[in-house]
């Protein structure tokens, strides 16, 4: 366990130093941070209805926004959900997480889901806006030395895909802090559009020879390994007043 924690710390330090060298990390940190809880819901709709009816929890932990992502393709287990919470900074995210222990939830909540693990996420390339929808979620391995180039390529790719008519497309790249062995040594890449139809149109455009195809290949060439690849349907149901 100590070795795993050390690896996470060294990886984060290496990534941070490389991105700082390009002056990118400070700018991206202004885009906030996230915490996530990975759960297996026994009855997804019932569980989500219960969580949505309790905005006081999000107020207590100081969240800016909250929502969920339901895995619809490439599931690791039945009822896979990622409950996400947005904060203005990593500090706020860690403080907020300290105010709620998901492993010690009320009995009624425990009976509706199995808690898997939690993580805090710092942006290497933050979302230009918080706009959940139909999302491709990938865990990837990238050499720390290549992270700045990947961030630049993803930023360029985002604009080129939008300029090609896919206005709702956005992407983000995140590094986990305290994500355990599940997230150690990987980055979290999210590609988002408004719904299934718009996401499919982006993919069809690429296979039809899209003008942004070369930028996509440039970005993917910097990825050493794809560890996991899933589709999620995501929704925001809480916004701080």
User: pLDDT tens, 130-175?
Assistant: 999 999 999 999 999 999 999 999 999 999 999 999 999 999 999 9
pLDDT at residue 10 in the model: 45
Q: SS3 helix, strand, coil % of the chain, rounded to 5? A: 40, 30, 25
Which element (helix H / strand E) includes 68? strand 65-73
What does each of the 241 residues of the chain score in pLDDT, given as a tens digit?
A: 444 444 444 445 445 444 444 555 556 555 799 999 999 999 999 999 999 999 999 999 999 999 999 999 999 999 999 999 999 999 999 999 999 999 999 999 999 999 999 999 999 999 999 999 999 999 999 999 999 999 999 999 999 999 999 999 999 999 999 999 999 999 999 999 999 999 999 999 999 999 999 999 999 999 999 999 999 999 999 999 8
Residue 66 near residue 237, CB atoms below 8 Å: yes
- CA 196/CA 192 separation, integer angstroms: 10
Give the 3-state secondary structure of residue 151: helix
Among residues 106, 113, 137, which one has the least CA distance to residue 48? Answer: 113
- CA 103/CA 115 separation, integer angstroms: 7
Q: Distances in Å between the alpha carbon of 92 and those of 74, 101, 123?
A: 32, 16, 14
Q: What is the pTM of this model?
A: 0.88
Among residues 138, 156, 166, 176, which one has the least CA distance to residue 7? Answer: 176
Q: Distances in Å between the alpha carbon of 151 and those of 27, 74, 166, 223, 234?
A: 12, 25, 20, 11, 23
- CA 18/CA 239 separation, integer angstroms: 34
- Whole-number CA gyration radius for the chain: 18
Give the number of other CB atoms < 10 A from CB of residue 78.
10
Q: Which residues, 6+ apart, have CB-to-CB distance to 76 below 8 Å?
A: 228
CATH number of 2-239: 3.30.70.100
Q: Which residues, 6+ apart, have CB-to-CB distance to 221 below 8 Å?
A: none
Residue 157 near residue 96, CB atoms below 8 Å: no
End-to-end CA distance of the chain: give it in Å, rounded. 40
Which element (helix H / strand E) includes 64? none
pLDDT at residue 241 in the model: 87
- CA 201/CA 193 separation, integer angstroms: 10
């Amino acid at each position: 366990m100590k070795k795993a924690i050390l690896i996470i710390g060294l990886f984060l330090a290496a990534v941070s130093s490389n991105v700082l060298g390009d002056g990118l990390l400070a700018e991206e940190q202004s885009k906030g941070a996230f915490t996530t809880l990975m759960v297996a819901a026994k009855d997804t709709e019932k569980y989500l209805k219960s969580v949505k009816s309790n905005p006081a929890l999000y107020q207590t932990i100081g969240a800016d926004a909250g929502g969920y992502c339901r895995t619809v393709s490439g599931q690791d287990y039945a009822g896979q959900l990622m409950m996400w919470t947005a904060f203005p900074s990593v500090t706020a995210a860690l403080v907020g997480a300290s105010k709620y222990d998901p492993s010690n939830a009320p009995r009624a909540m425990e009976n509706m889901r199995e808690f898997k693990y939690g993580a805090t996420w710092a942006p290497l390339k933050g979302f230009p806006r918080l706009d959940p929808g139909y999302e491709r979620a990938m865990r990837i391995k990238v050499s720390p030395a290549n992270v700045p180039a990947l961030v630049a390529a993803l930023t360029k790719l985002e604009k080129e895909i939008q300029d090609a008519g896919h206005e709702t497309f956005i992407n983000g790249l995140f590094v986990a802090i305290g994500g355990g062995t599940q997230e150690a040594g990987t980055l979290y890449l999210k590609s988002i559009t408004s719904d299934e139809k718009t996401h499919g149109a982006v993919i069809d455009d690429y296979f039809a020879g899209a003008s942004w195809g070369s930028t996509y290949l440039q970005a993917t060439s910097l990825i050493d390994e794809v560890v996991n690849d899933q589709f999620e349907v995501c929704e925001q149901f809480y916004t701080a007043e």
